[in-house]
Amino acid sequence: MDTPSFSLERPDREVLQITLRDALTEAAALRCEHEVRSAVAESRPGSLRVLIDVRAVHDYELSAREVLVRIITHLLGKSARTAFLADTPHSRALALWIAHMNNGNSSNVIDDPEIASAWLLDVPEVSGVHALESQPPASIAK
């Protein structure tokens, strides 16, 4: 599905790519939610690698952001890992909020598409990339 505000791609059964762009409205986010649910309905739990590209989002309604949180919550049961592509303060803020609202479960916000792809595939050579954690490291928590 491709609309002015989002597109979905399934390059293979294990990968779902969601690209969000422009000024994201609640209506567009709801259409995206419907398409995502349809696209992953037959996916086994933990089988997906999800890439969400928010680099081209220049504005969004707060209600749209809440729908995006709901989409990610739905995908938690289906995905092994989720990477957000975000390369501006605005896009990173959106991605971090969505990840935060889902406790960062198997999520990461990355600014480079190649590193994001490698992280999704759990390539061991990826350095300097760590999954977002819901708890601070022990050295910080003290």
Among 36, 105, 110, 40, CA closest to 68: 36
Give the model confidence (pLDDT) of 80-95 as tens digits.
Answer: 999 999 999 999 999 9
User: Does position 125 have pLDDT exceeding 80, yes or no?
Assistant: no
User: Does position 142 have pLDDT exceeding 50, yes or no?
Assistant: no
Q: pLDDT tier at 38 (50, 70, 90 boundaries)?
A: very high
Q: What is the CATH number of domain 6-141?
A: 3.30.750.24
Q: What is the pTM of this model?
A: 0.82
Chain mean pLDDT for the chain: 85
Report H helices in 1-142. Answer: 26-40, 62-76, 89-101, 113-120, 138-141
Cα(116)–Cα(129) distance, integer angstroms: 9
User: Does position 34 have pLDDT exceeding 80, yes or no?
Assistant: yes
